């Protein structure tokens, strides 16, 4: 079973890579408004690098933990940039909660997702309202925890959390950026959502789709 779990993580990483490619241009355009325009490219390089590293780990017979930890390191290296470091840390932290040998039940998947979300906040040091991906990560985390505790239904809880993240990401359009590269051109970001919050919510939507389709 442990190999099956690791294989599903590999599949999910491929899904993230394809999703980033699909949205690469839009994310780049969002980042060009008040940042340096490389967010789409960074997300694609990072996620494809993570998927490739995951594949290599799986070929060597790695379990869930090792696969995800390697994928996280590769994401940060392949992406470069602020968001790449944050996504890399998230994957590595999520992997750190898993076990190479055993299976992964729904509660363990939730724990891994929560650990990934915590890592983004810890490493980036941003608060809600700073107009960063944390603005989407926090409602995702809170909704996931609440809905999974209430219902025990992982795909539904993840769907609700991804919806909360998407709404919050859209809401960042009303904020002026105070952190990251966008702070220099902060005023220009008014009216445009934060690219990192948008990409986070898109990827969590893809995770929810993946978990729902598995049922
Ligand atoms: P870079 O800013 O290095 O070019 P990207 O364009 O890939 O990197 O990512 C930009 C995104 O990174 C922003 O839209 C924001 O969501 C996120 N970000 C920047 N600084 C922080 C931070 N301190 N904490 C959390 N997220 C951040
Ligand atoms: Mg950028
Ligand atoms: Mg950059």
**pLDDT given for residue 179 in this prediction:** 66
In 3D space, the residue among 66, 154, 146 whose CA is nearest the CA of residue 108 turns out to be 154
Residue 30 Cβ < 6 Å to ligand 1? no
Cα of 101 to ligand 1 centre, how many Å? 35
Q: What is the mean pLDDT of the segment spanning 145-152?
A: 98
Q: What is the mean pLDDT of the segment spanning 85-96?
A: 98
Query: Which residues lie closer than 8 Å to 198 by C-beta, 6 or more apart?
Result: 27, 30, 136, 169
Residue 197 Cβ < 6 Å to ligand 1? yes
**In the chain, what percentage of residues exceed pLDDT 70?**
95
Q: What is the mean pLDDT of the segment spanning 35-43?
A: 96
Q: Which CATH class is domain 2-214?
A: mainly alpha
Task: Inform me whether the pLDDT recorded for 126 exceeds 60.
Answer: yes
Cα of 202 to ligand 2 centre, how many Å? 17
Q: What's the whole-model pTM score?
A: 0.96
Copy the structure tokens of residue 113: 């997702």
Q: List, for residues 177-210, the tens digit of each pLDDT value.
A: 776 665 566 688 899 999 999 999 999 999 999 9
Q: Taking the CB of residue 79, how many other CB atoms lie within 10 A of it?
A: 27
Residue 41 Cβ < 6 Å to ligand 1? no
Query: Which residues lie closer than 8 Å to 164 by C-beta, 6 or more apart?
Result: 139, 140, 142, 143
Copy the structure tokens of residue 169: 């990401």
pLDDT band at 213 (very low <50, low <70, confident <90, very high): confident
Cα of 121 to ligand 1 centre, how many Å? 12
- Give the separation between CA 95 and CA 41, rounded to whole angstroms: 24
**pLDDT given for residue 176 in this prediction:** 86
**pLDDT given for residue 188 in this prediction:** 84
Q: What is the mean pLDDT of the segment spanning 127-138?
A: 96
Closest residue (by CA) to atom 22 of ligand 1? 124
* Ligand 1 pocket mutation, candidates 29, 129, 180, criterion most atoms within 8 A of CB: 180
Element (H, E) at 57: helix 39-59
- Give the separation between CA 114 and CA 141, rounded to whole angstroms: 6
**pLDDT given for residue 185 in this prediction:** 63
- Give the separation between CA 201 and CA 164, rounded to whole angstroms: 8
**pLDDT given for residue 198 in this prediction:** 98
Closest residue (by CA) to atom 7 of ligand 1? 39
**pLDDT given for residue 119 in this prediction:** 98
Closest residue (by CA) to atom 11 of ligand 1? 196
Task: Inform me whether the pLDDT recorded for 22 exceeds 70.
Answer: yes
* Per-residue DSSP letter, 88: H
pLDDT band at 133 (very low <50, low <70, confident <90, very high): very high
Q: How many residues does the chain have?
A: 215
Q: Domain segments of the chain: what residues?
A: 2-214
- Indicate whether this complex's ipTM tops 0.90: yes
């Amino acid at each position: 079973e442990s190999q099956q779990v690791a294989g599903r993580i590999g599949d999910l990483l491929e899904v993230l890579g394809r999703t980033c490619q699909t949205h690469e241009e839009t994310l780049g355009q969002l980042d060009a408004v008040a940042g340096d325009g490389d967010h789409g490219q960074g997300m694609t390089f990072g996620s494809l690098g993570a998927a490739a590293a995951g594949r290599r780990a799986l070929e060597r017979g790695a379990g869930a933990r090792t696969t995800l930890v390697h994928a996280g390191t590769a994401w940060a290296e392949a992406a470069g940039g602020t968001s790449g470091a944050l996504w890399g840390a998230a994957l590595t932290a999520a992997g750190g909660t898993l076990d190479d040998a055993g299976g992964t039940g729904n509660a363990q998947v939730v724990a891994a997702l929560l650990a990934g979300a915590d890592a983004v906040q810890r490493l980036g040091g941003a608060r809600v309202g700073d107009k960063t991906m944390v603005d989407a990560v926090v409602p995702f985390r809170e909704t996931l925890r609440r809905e999974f505790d209430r219902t025990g239904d992982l795909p539904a809880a993840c769907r609700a959390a991804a919806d909360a993240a998407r709404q919050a990401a859209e809401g960042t359009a009303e904020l002026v950026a105070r952190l990251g590269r966008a702070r220099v051109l902060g005023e220009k970001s008014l009216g445009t959502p934060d690219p990192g919050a948008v990409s986070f919510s898109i990827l969590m939507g893809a995770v929810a789709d993946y978990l729902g389709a598995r049922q």
